[in-house]
Structure 1
Amino acid sequence: MYYVGVDVGTGSVRASLVSQKGKIIASSVQETHTWRDIQDHRIFEQSTDDIWSKAGKAVKQCLEISGVAKENVKGVGFDATCSLAVTDLNGDPVVISKGEELGNPGERNIVLWADHRAEKEAEVINATDSVVLKYVGGKMSLEMEIPKILWLKNNMSAERFSNCQFFDLPDWLTYQATRDTSRSKCSLTCKCSYVPNSGWQKEFFEKIGLGDLVKREYAMIGGRRDEDVLCAGMPVGEGLSTKAAEELGLVEGTAVGSAIIDAYAGWLGTVAARYKEEDGTLSKEIPSLEESKHRLAAVAGTSTCHIVQSQEGIFVNGVWGPYKDPIISGWWMNEGGQSSTGQLLHFMLTTHKAYDELVDRGRKEGKDIFVVLDDVLEELRVDRGAESLVELTKDLHLYPDLHGLYSSHASIEGLLTTLVGNRSPIADPRMRGSIIGLELSSSITDLALKYHTTLLAVSLQTRHIIDTLNKAGHSITSIFMSGGQVKNRDLMRMFAEVCRGQSGSAKELQGVVLPDDGGAAVVLGAAMLGRLAFEVEKVKKAGKPFGKDEQAGKLWEIMVEMTPPGTIIRPKAGVKERKLFEAKYKIFLESIEIQKKWRQEMEDATR
């Protein structure tokens, strides 16, 4: 038996055919199209028609590559970016582009997660002091769905707005697959202001100007009673519709699991892993669901998401959540994040005057540029008599929240990305990057030093997030990585050293676990959703009950079976190096307070 996972990222759709044991048999990636407005850099738009078409091509290609018969595919799972998909009441796409066509039938019907048009609407929402803000770290991001829906309400005719229904993109995918409007706990609680234990907040929607949703009993955004909102992987409708089965090349009625947001699929595809030591020794212990609360999932690419779950709801200032039941029934999750990590590294390298020299040297020596940088740093360490690289850069300090617009190949499709200060745990869009310790140098040596300092800054900010989570009540002792940054072993080892914490602490980090395939973790998580949906349907056909209580144990069992062992990188720094890391962290925290102090002094001077 096989399962299909479909991952809809910012610039592509990836489908993978996965075995019962979690082995990826075949994969296919299809690029999707993003529209930009040259007059307004805030605009990012996509098309559900385009995404679904590419999903069909990808799934069919997986079957063709593998030779697996469609009848042997027993379940399908989806994950996607937290983007807003808009259709009419018949499910046909509705234009979300500003202008005369807004609200008409048309292809451009997705407000991408990175779209920042709803800035004013977010300000209105954040001025309400509503209980919904309590569950997003105290402040709602303009990237969430309610600010975007409010923007559409403010810019669309009332008649056209009343004919719309709104989906977080993962839920649209299961709707398109089954024509069942069931929504997921993951999307509704994380991105749509659905409050744990009490659901939709009538006063909130009326106060911000979305009383239309209340009048329609929330049908426009998936109005259901709490017991009808699905936990991850629970079956949606009657499985694949006739039309969707044909479009995906699968069998009608194939089980479809309730979808989740892409970063949460990264959690799903990593945190249940056993792990090997760097010498290849495999741990004998099978991880329990109880152990999961000590494991932070870091989904790291252009930016990074940090996800951890707990048995009780834990409120953490500057960190989204707590969200109830987004994946495991009965468990809560918090989500932190860094706006720019892989993208920051790319910026620091490519904007340096010596970058072309670095590339040229790598070409001449037949080495990757990161290997060249390692060589330069080691040569410099020996020349200067430093015991470690952190000692080599002890007088160079970078604070990483660079702000502004940036276009790079590190961004999928080279998209122009808006960076907005600090996401977690300060949650302050006014934070800016800074660097102290500059020299009059534009050499490749200077580039290597700044590269190492950037790795350190990303790691220090990760520790800041982990420390904040632990002080609030979490108990994180390991990081489970996924995403493109897994390939950078220097960064992974830096995480292990920096996030280790104070010696002797009960919450001292034990290590960083790298997945068997960092790029496959998210789509593997999606396939697990399809597996659970199939298993639930099998139980129900046998006449046995299967509800939320059973979901937790069964999903974790599937995760353990389908997640390949990872490799743990343990901290190895000696006493002196650890002292330097602690000093660097102290300076990192001081730089935040100094920046706030200086900002206030300048505001006072200009008032």
Structure 2
Amino acid sequence: MHSQKQAPVKYYVGIDVGSASVRAALVDEFGTVVAHADQPIQIWEPQPDHYEQSSADIWAACCSVTKKVVCGVDASRIRGIGFDATCSLVVVDKQFQPLAVNCEGQNYRNVIMWMDHRAVSQVERINATQHRVLSYVGGVMSVEMQPPKLLWIKENLQESCWEKAGYFFDLPDFLSWKATGVTARSLCTVVCKWTYTSDGGWDDSFWKMIGLEDLVKDKYEKIGNHVLSPGESVGKGLTPEAAKDLGLPEGIAVAASLIDAHAGGLGVIGADVKGHNLPCENQPITSRVAMICGTSSCHMGVSETPIFVPGVWGPYFSAMVPGLWLNEGGQSATGKLIDHVVRGHVAFPELQSKAAASAHSIYTYLNSHLDLIKKSLPVGFLTVDLHVWPDFHGNRSPLTDLTLKGMVVGLTLSRGLDELALIYLATIQAIALGTRHILETMQAAGHHINTLFLCGGLSKNPLFVQMHADITGKPVVLSKEVESVLVGAAILGACASGDFASIQVCS
């Protein structure tokens, strides 16, 4: 009996640029993460609600983590690379050199982050137009989208930035350009954050109405006039320079990118749940919502026909899963809010000390502390007299009010660790109640949702997961592969390589 020789395993690289770090993974053709690395990136906050980054710093981190995950691997077996990133705005001049997005003139700070809220006046004026494109963003454009940021640049940095700018990229598209030298944009980014439509393209009347007619005159060269579907191969693959930077072979396939939340949704929403007795078993993926929870949270639901949900972004055609319409709810501050509340408490130094002594993270320690003080009660009942309103950074969905502020009700004079643990719990409960509000709004508009799929950093916190199950009343599913966002990025690379016929086959 002759043994059959197995073909060498194929690999794909997924790179995920989050708010505060860059991560990379080497993923095999079976969807298993073989190697993983991460590196922090810088954030500048020169004034309240202004958040900036450096595209050079981000690219350097991409190169560093990629070299780590491919070290020791036969380069000929690495078939493709996919990028995802936050929907931040990157500005470069006509020679693709960084341009300052700040009054200080610091050119290396050329990225306005997704969570930047400087363009409040601009987005209010855009929403006052009631232009038809706004129907595809829940009726109200968010300050976190790109048109208000572009208008802010034109009105505040006319000479130093606007007139010198050659290209405005969404960060995921900047990365695919950096890798290939091709300025094509992803359908995901331009549809979800720039008002492009998959059937009609750019709407000249919108840009002229809001005072950005300059972008129309050059046939949208500055913001993209060549749009590719996510996972489609870009150009001729990695350029020699990018290949050297990343430690990868020249010419390997580079995929049109995804926004980070959409990569997470792609990586988790199609999970095989057979045998787990879940309500979504034997149901289409339209019965599922993927919740990507990290610094912020995004709630991704798909449908076969367009569903217009007040206060929820979309419907976007083929923005995440090809052939399906996407609605995207969200909370602007979740992980960031939990950190803010916990680290700002007077008992935080005590928490740090005790967590370090027990060799646990601060959140693992807090979860254990809640178990100690709850006695015979379910942990959720500990906060019967303590409540948090979680919109410390405004409300993205479904109230669409960026002026809302946060609130804590039920405080006492206690300054100890018990009080900190309770505020931590109440904050998580408030976030989960916000998720329930989003899901109920989507269901009222026509979505049929019976299961919640979680991924991202907060999905690794058992208390966060349990509160979402308890408060939404829906089963919560966690993927066996915890790095769903990186797997989603790698799926793009696998699709671009031609090894798989489509994103659906890959996932």
TM-score with structure 1 setting the length? 0.76
Residue 109 (structure 2) pairs with residue 108 (structure 1)? yes
**Counterpart position of 1:394:** 384
**Counterpart position of 1:556:** 504
Partner secondary structure for residue 315 of structure 1: coil
**Counterpart position of 1:212:** 214
**Counterpart position of 1:56:** 63
Q: Deviations over 1:314-362 (max 9, x none)?
A: 1111111111111222211111111222233333333334444444444
**Counterpart position of 2:250:** 252
**Counterpart position of 1:76:** 81
Partner secondary structure for residue 41 of structure 1: coil
When residues 120 and 308 of structure 1 are mapped into structure 2, their CA distance, relative to the original with a 3 A threshold, is same
Partner secondary structure for residue 221 of structure 1: coil
User: Which protein is richer in helix relative to its size?
Assistant: 1
Query: Which of the two has higher C-alpha Rg?
Result: 1
Q: Which moved more, 1:185-194 or 1:369-378?
A: 369-378
User: For structure 1, which runs of at least 5 residues remain unmatched after alignment?
Assistant: 403-418, 501-508, 540-550, 560-607
TM alignment of 1:227-238, pairs within 5 A: 229-238=227-236
Q: Which moved more, 1:432-441 or 1:123-132?
A: 432-441
Matched to 1:31, the amino acid is P
When residues 437 and 165 of structure 1 are mapped into structure 2, their CA distance, relative to the original with a 3 A threshold, is closer
Residue 240 (structure 2) pairs with residue 242 (structure 1)? yes
Residue 505 (structure 2) pairs with residue 512 (structure 1)? no
Rounded to whole Å, the distance in 2 between the matches of 1:3 and 1:378 is 42
**Deviation (angstroms), 1:390:** 3.3
**Do 2:314 and 2:328's aligned partners in 1 also have CA atoms closer than 8 Å?**
yes
**Deviation (angstroms), 1:270:** 1.2
Partner secondary structure for residue 557 of structure 1: helix
**Counterpart position of 1:472:** 445
When residues 181 and 391 of structure 1 are mapped into structure 2, their CA distance, relative to the original with a 3 A threshold, is closer
Matched to 2:333, the amino acid is S
When residues 282 and 153 of structure 1 are mapped into structure 2, their CA distance, relative to the original with a 3 A threshold, is same
Rounded to whole Å, the distance in 1 between the matches of 2:424 and 2:101 is 41
Matched to 1:534, the amino acid is S
Q: Which moved more, 1:155-164 or 1:170-179?
A: 155-164
Residue 69 (structure 2) pairs with residue 33 (structure 1)? no
**Do 2:100 and 2:161's aligned partners in 1 also have CA atoms closer than 8 Å?**
no
**Deviation (angstroms), 1:128:** 1.1
**Counterpart position of 1:319:** 312
**Counterpart position of 1:461:** 434
When residues 360 and 250 of structure 1 are mapped into structure 2, their CA distance, relative to the original with a 3 A threshold, is closer
**Counterpart position of 1:91:** 96
**Deviation (angstroms), 1:190:** 0.6
Aligned length: 497
**Deviation (angstroms), 1:466:** 0.8
TM-score with structure 2 setting the length? 0.90
**Counterpart position of 2:495:** 532
Matched to 1:491, the amino acid is F
**Deviation (angstroms), 1:387:** 4.4
Rounded to whole Å, the distance in 1 between the matches of 2:357 and 2:167 is 57
Partner secondary structure for residue 222 of structure 1: coil
TM alignment of 1:298-313, pairs within 5 A: 298-313=291-306
Rounded to whole Å, the distance in 1 between the matches of 2:278 and 2:342 is 41
**Counterpart position of 2:200:** 198
Rounded to whole Å, the distance in 2 between the matches of 1:330 and 1:265 is 16
Rounded to whole Å, the distance in 1 between the matches of 2:222 and 2:478 is 41
**Do 1:274 and 1:286's aligned partners in 2 also have CA atoms closer than 8 Å?**
no
Q: Deviations over 1:356-393 (max 9, x none)?
A: 444444456666555554555445444xxx64333443
Rounded to whole Å, the distance in 2 between the matches of 1:33 and 1:173 is 17
**Counterpart position of 1:4:** 13
When residues 353 and 30 of structure 1 are mapped into structure 2, their CA distance, relative to the original with a 3 A threshold, is closer
User: For structure 2, which runs of at least 5 residues remain unmatched after alignment?
Assistant: 1-9
Residue 431 (structure 2) pairs with residue 431 (structure 1)? no
When residues 331 and 25 of structure 1 are mapped into structure 2, their CA distance, relative to the original with a 3 A threshold, is same
Identity within the alignment, %: 41
Partner secondary structure for residue 193 of structure 1: coil
